[in-house]
Structure 1
Amino acid sequence: MDAMPDATAGEWLKPSLDTVWHDMHSVVPRGFPAYARIFHPVLRDRPQDTGTWHGHPRMGIFPLDEQAVGWSEVAGSFGTEMHPLAQFHRLVGVERNTQEILDSAGWRYSEPDTGNLAPDILASVAARLCEHTSTPDEGVSAIWEGWGGLPSSDGFAQLTLSDGGTSVKRPSRFFRRKSKPGSGLLPAEMVNGGTLELPGRTYYLFDSAPQFYRQQSWVNQVPWHRSPQFPQSPSILWPADRSWVMVTEIDFDSTVVAGSHELVAALVQDPGIEALPLNEGADLMWDADIPNRPGQ
């Protein structure tokens, strides 16, 4: 997992991206035969004592039942319809960040992660990706420069873990460069070197094999996060033969893979991945006018 000295390896993406935002193709390249949308898991919990948050006094400390579920299960819990362009807030029937999300069974839901694919899901995705490239041992990972603490020591918040009381530094999403470049996770020569400039985004590039992500142990080895407790998946990943591209845009709560029809079919059929085929030109913006409720 070596830093790349310049952005040459990513220049091929530029002609395939829109410079003005119309749909997903400001971040996902055009021109591939097929596309798949991989939905980031949703976490839900409820208190063990009553089995529901409805009417729960919420006083003191009490154990929780916790689950990671797919969007299809969320849709089933709220009586809404799952489809390739689903918007999470419409599946649960609330505006974003306006209220607690509870279903009729008393489960409380957190919104899916944006800009980050969970390590276990990434491992399943990487297995399928490696089956559909001639170069599974050669590729490139692009990491968005704005994750806190990469170019400098700015952008970290102190967090005390409840299980052991250990203080760790957790990266924030944005940073302001006040500290010296090179004082963060990445060396000064990389921070001051070439970066990949795509529409509205700047990335650092790393020489990395797609095979690397098939094992969840990658979280202990990459140089772009400080703690495996808070792993950060690649923003963009592609193999040396450019047969596919995986994009986890920082503002998306899902990951898009562009590739062959066979690859998309394999992703959709994998039981460890929640994915649906996506049409070229799909709009995945938060405020897209997509109906989720039957009859809407």
Structure 2
Amino acid sequence: MELITDVRRADWLVRRLQASGTVAGTVGGGFDGYARVLHPLAAFREDRSVLDEHGDAPVLETSTWRWSDVAARTGRTVDAGVSWSTLSASRDDDVLFDDGWRVEPPAEGWLDPRLLAALTSHLSASTATPLDLVAAVWDGWGDLSGGSTLVAGWQDGTPDATERARAEAEVARLRTAHQAALDAVRRALAVPRLHLTHREHLLVRTTVADWADPAWTERAEIADGVPLAHTPQLLWPEDHAWVLATEIDCDSTLVAGTRRLVDAILRDHRFETFEVDPLSALR
């Protein structure tokens, strides 16, 4: 992976974007089909009869749930236009069930790398340029914006004067190193940005194979040692055969492309997915 300095590589997509806040306003109009892939849910079975000093219950079992698993318990319906807040009666809070299961809200702006890897088989088969992809990554993430914060504190009792002096010296050293690291990120990422929907994006040259291994987050770099640990907000091949989008504030991922591609994704039981209208609102 490497940074792209010529943001004109996104001009074709910008021209196809339609009304803001819609499917086609995110992945563009003019494709044969559009699929919405719901992000999976982290679920935990707890023993709530025992609470620790923080009020947390021990976890007995973990699992990955689908939205339909929650719907089966709440009596609601999962369809192409489902919203998490309607399904769960809560947007931000965990959903608690009487049998001890706790379900976290779906991740926003992040597609599980395992699902992204699963999608690559369909994406690769649907482009003539699998070795030439463009990824657009929001530059507002703390590790990419040079805006992360260092917090230091003292644990276990009150320090005496000598300990306080040593601690303050160590904090000063850490702050200097932290600021140097932030400055290095800003310099490494000092390239033109793609402006979309009131957000700035870095463009990255990549391939389908880069995303085929879920462990890409452990090794991906985009510039001078700057790691990439975020799902791309947009991904498309040079032949413009399809677009994948994981919008920052959305708990699902969109794929626009050929009829064959969308049908293949809809039939793949690894995904909880629905076909959507390009003019429908984002969820």
TM category, shorter: 0.7 to 0.9
- What are the superposed Cα offsets for residues 148-199 of structure 1, whole Å, 9 maximum, x if unpaired? 12132x225669xxxxxxxxxxxxxxxxxxx68972546x2532x2111123
The answer to whether the aligner puts 1:9 opposite 2:9 as a matched pair is yes
User: Residues 29 and 239 of structure 1: is their aligned pair in 2 closer, same or farther, counting only changes over 3 Å?
Assistant: same
The answer to whether the aligner puts 1:219 opposite 2:217 as a matched pair is yes
The answer to whether the aligner puts 1:126 opposite 2:120 as a matched pair is yes
Query: In the alignment, residue 220 of structure 1 is paired with which amino acid?
Result: E
User: Residues 181 and 63 of structure 1: is their aligned pair in 2 closer, same or farther, counting only changes over 3 Å?
Assistant: closer
User: Residues 259 and 158 of structure 1: is their aligned pair in 2 closer, same or farther, counting only changes over 3 Å?
Assistant: farther
- What are the superposed Cα offsets for residues 199-251 of structure 1, whole Å, 9 maximum, x if unpaired? 322110111012211111311222269778xx311111001111000000000
User: Residues 58 and 275 of structure 1: is their aligned pair in 2 closer, same or farther, counting only changes over 3 Å?
Assistant: same
Aligned twin of 1:58: 51
In the TM superposition, what is the alpha-carbon distance from 1:96 to its structure 2 partner?
2.3
CA distance in 1, matches of 2:20, 2:26: 9
Query: In the alignment, residue 216 of structure 1 is paired with which amino acid?
Result: P
CA distance in 1, matches of 2:104, 2:121: 28
The answer to whether the aligner puts 1:74 opposite 2:70 as a matched pair is yes
Normalised TM-score (structure 1):
0.77
Structure with greater proportional helix content: 2
Aligned twin of 2:43: 44
Segment drifting more, 122-131 vs 193-202: 193-202
User: Residues 241 and 181 of structure 1: is their aligned pair in 2 closer, same or farther, counting only changes over 3 Å?
Assistant: farther
Aligned twin of 1:113: 107
In the TM superposition, what is the alpha-carbon distance from 1:57 to its structure 2 partner?
3.8
Considering only aligned residues, what root-mean-square deviation do their CA atoms show, in Å? 2.6
CA distance in 2, matches of 1:30, 1:134: 20
User: Residues 15 and 227 of structure 1: is their aligned pair in 2 closer, same or farther, counting only changes over 3 Å?
Assistant: closer
Contact persistence 2:50–2:58 (CA under 8 A): no
User: Residues 273 and 73 of structure 1: is their aligned pair in 2 closer, same or farther, counting only changes over 3 Å?
Assistant: same
Where do residues 171-190 of structure 1 align in structure 2 (5 Å cutoff)?
183=183, 185=185, 188=187, 190=189
User: Residues 108 and 184 of structure 1: is their aligned pair in 2 closer, same or farther, counting only changes over 3 Å?
Assistant: farther
Q: Give percent identity, aligned residues only.
A: 28
Contact persistence 1:150–1:184 (CA under 8 A): no
Unaligned runs of 5+ residues in structure 1 are 160-178, 286-296
User: Residues 141 and 158 of structure 1: is their aligned pair in 2 closer, same or farther, counting only changes over 3 Å?
Assistant: farther
Aligned twin of 1:246: 244
Normalised TM-score (structure 2):
0.81
CA distance in 2, matches of 1:107, 1:226: 38
Where do residues 274-285 of structure 1 align in structure 2 (5 Å cutoff)?
274-285=272-283
- Alignment partner of 1:108: what SS? strand
Aligned twin of 1:147: 141
In the TM superposition, what is the alpha-carbon distance from 1:262 to its structure 2 partner?
1.0
Contact persistence 1:45–1:67 (CA under 8 A): yes
The number of residues matched between the two structures is 253
Aligned twin of 1:202: 200
CA distance in 1, matches of 2:200, 2:43: 33
- Alignment partner of 1:276: what SS? strand
Larger radius of gyration between Structure 1 and Structure 2: 2
Give the one of 58, 80, 87 matched to 1:91: 87
Query: In the alignment, residue 22 of structure 2 is paired with which amino acid?
Result: D
Unaligned runs of 5+ residues in structure 2 are 153-178
In the TM superposition, what is the alpha-carbon distance from 1:279 to its structure 2 partner?
1.1
In the TM superposition, what is the alpha-carbon distance from 1:28 to its structure 2 partner?
2.2
In the TM superposition, what is the alpha-carbon distance from 1:104 to its structure 2 partner?
4.0
Query: In the alignment, residue 148 of structure 1 is paired with which amino acid?
Result: G
The answer to whether the aligner puts 1:259 opposite 2:257 as a matched pair is yes
CA distance in 2, matches of 1:238, 1:105: 43
